[in-house]
Structure 1
Amino acid sequence: MRCLIVDDVKFFRLVIKEFIELDDALTLVAECDNAIEAHKRILNDQVDLIFLDIQMPGMNGLELAKILKNGYPLVIFTTCNSQYAVEAFELNAVDYLLKPVSLSRFIGAVDKAKKLLKPSIEILDHCSNEFVFIRDSNVVRKLSFRDILYFESTGDYVRIALGEKEYSIHSSLKSIWPKLPVNTFLRVHRSFIVNLNKIDSIEGKTLIIRKHLIPVSGAYRPELNKYMSFL
């Protein structure tokens, strides 16, 4: 996977560069200190994944992401502020990492990108009030709802996050949503359904589950507020 680092702070570029060098599946194409230079590099070279800062002089990271076509290259935002999480996920970002970026969060985000470039062929097969079955090639796996952190829509696939593990299924949130226990899961964004029992905190338009930042859309906020009223 050919990577590009875009950040106006050299120290943060160095951190991501060192992380990239730890994964043999990643190749650093270049590092840029501004979005305009990065855009030129994207047009003239093959780039699969961008580690993109948001607050930069001139064109910022969100503006660069908006002009990328068809969601490619994939984008992992790296920023010091959580306030841009909603807009970032509206742009179909792979992940949103807060600085200082830890190695564990970096690995998790890269794993998500790898699955998007080479999605699995798992299919949602059957579910009950306590568990769901997914088909992984010739293996049928049983997943307990209590272990699922959230579902995330990524194009034609849905990522099921379970802390240490995750699976990608060829499905949509629209088809999954009616099959989930209503008192356990709640849709908070067009791209996210969360396990209410796994929410650690809510900060403005963002909720946090195991250090993962998940945007909350205005259209879904009233339902979330109803849940919060019972606390």
Structure 2
Amino acid sequence: MNCLVIDDNVIARTTLKQLVKQDKDLILAGECDNAMDAYRRIMDEPVDLLLLDIEMEGMTGIELVRSLGSKNPVIIFTTSKKEYAAEAFELNVADYITKPVTPARFLQAMEKAKEIFRSKRQEIKVENDSFLFIRDSNIVRRLKIDDILYAEAMGDYVKLHTVEKFYSVHSSLKEVEVKLPESKFLRVHRSFIIQVGKIDTIEGGTLIINRKMVPVADTYRAALNRRLNVL
């Protein structure tokens, strides 16, 4: 789980970074001394966890969380003020720590954060390499893996295309890739994973699946040629 430390106090950031580095399940993605810089970074790069101060110049931590839209990292607020707790928990944050942050309190908060993170990762899972269970709106739906023609990354979502329709799941393409059996699927582009057995034709840098064009990037072309074993 990668995390971003956001605090305008350098001592507070240093303390949090040291605590993060002591947890083998955490990767320090970076640090920001204001919420605006953090916002831009989160929009550009996926972040799993925010260790976030509230009172900062310009944009507050609470305002940052409200501005994230479809981005939904796990949030732990770290602040010297108690009066924001009720407002913070309305945002479904994992925890609210009042400074100074002690190792024991940090570990307690991280247990909550990891539990939430694990539950999010269960939105897509494989059962016996035959089905995916995907969260479609508020419904968990079973989808046969053999019905998936290709997966397409679209921002914070992945479209799983079938013959009849597509399903949008809140996930990264990398997370979807590890859930799909390697014996059937292959990445052919930074934004596309295809089921090899569903390919109709290939011409140049494009392949056709169910009358849909899928680009093939040069970096993946050799791997595709090896899998196809063309006569």
Match of 2:13 in 1: 13
What does 1:80-91 correspond to in 2, within 5 Å?
80-91=80-91
What does 1:148-227 correspond to in 2, within 5 Å?
none
In structure 1, give the amino acid aligned to 2:63. E
How far the C-alpha of 1:70 sits from its partner, in A, is 4.4
What runs of 5+ residues in structure 1 fail to find an aligned partner? 121-154, 157-231
What does 1:82-101 correspond to in 2, within 5 Å?
82-101=82-101
Separation (CA, whole Å) in 2 of partners of 1:85 and 1:78: 10
Match of 1:125 in 2: none
Q: Contact 1:76/1:94 (CA < 8 Å) preserved in 2?
A: yes
Separation (CA, whole Å) in 2 of partners of 1:99 and 1:85: 13
Aligned residues: percent identity?
45
The runs of 4+ residues in structure 1 deviating greater than 3 Å are none
How far the C-alpha of 1:79 sits from its partner, in A, is 0.3
Separation (CA, whole Å) in 1 of partners of 2:7 and 2:113: 19
Aligned length: 122
TM-score, normalising length from structure 1?
0.51
Separation (CA, whole Å) in 2 of partners of 1:119 and 1:47: 16
Is 2:31 the partner of 1:31? yes
How far the C-alpha of 1:68 sits from its partner, in A, is 1.8
In structure 2, give the amino acid aligned to 1:95. D
In our comparison, the structure showing a higher alpha carbon Rg is: 2
What does 1:118-129 correspond to in 2, within 5 Å?
118-119=118-119
Higher relative CO (Cα under 8 Å, sequence separation at least 6) belongs to: 1
Going from structure 1 to structure 2, the CA distance change for 1:51 and 1:24 (only over 3 Å counts) comes to same
What runs of 5+ residues in structure 2 fail to find an aligned partner? 121-137, 140-231
How far the C-alpha of 1:118 sits from its partner, in A, is 1.0
Coordinate RMSD, CA, aligned? 1.9
TM-score, normalising length from structure 2?
0.51
SS at structure 2 position matched to 1:64 = helix
Write the deviation string for residues 33-87 of structure 1: whole angstroms up to 9, x where unpaired.
0000000110111100000000000001010011122471111000001000000
Separation (CA, whole Å) in 1 of partners of 2:107 and 2:71: 21
How far the C-alpha of 1:18 sits from its partner, in A, is 0.3
Separation (CA, whole Å) in 1 of partners of 2:83 and 2:107: 23
